Amino acid sequence: MVNPGAFHGKRKLFLMGEREDYAVAIKEDHAAEQLADVMRWYFKCFPISIPDDVEPSDEELSKINDDAPDPEPA
């Protein structure tokens, strides 16, 4: 039996939406940078402070600015 994976809902849609750009990054030899960007964007949308079974609303996700600098850790 195939493992269905741990990502569901908006989390899975987000990651699946990044596949094509990641494939291009592999071909252009900058996969590490692309993966770092995807991880940064993912954790802006789905911070570890919210449980995996809680989906942010579309309104909350639309407020996220991927280009804004990340806050410095305290």
The reply to whether 58 falls in a domain is yes
Query: In total, how many domains does the chain have?
Result: 1
Give residue 54's domain range. 9-62
- pLDDT tens figures, 33-59: 999 999 999 999 999 999 988 999 999
The pLDDT of residue 70: 79
* Collapsed DSSP state (helix, strand, coil) of residue 54: coil
Residue 14 covered by a domain: yes
- Confirm whether 4 is domain-assigned: no
**Residue 3 maps to a domain:** no
Query: Rounded to whole angstroms, how far apart are CA atoms 1 and 47?
Result: 31
- pTM as predicted: 0.83
Amino acid at 61: L
* Domain assignment present for 73: no
Residue 12, number of CB atoms within 10 A of its CB: 13
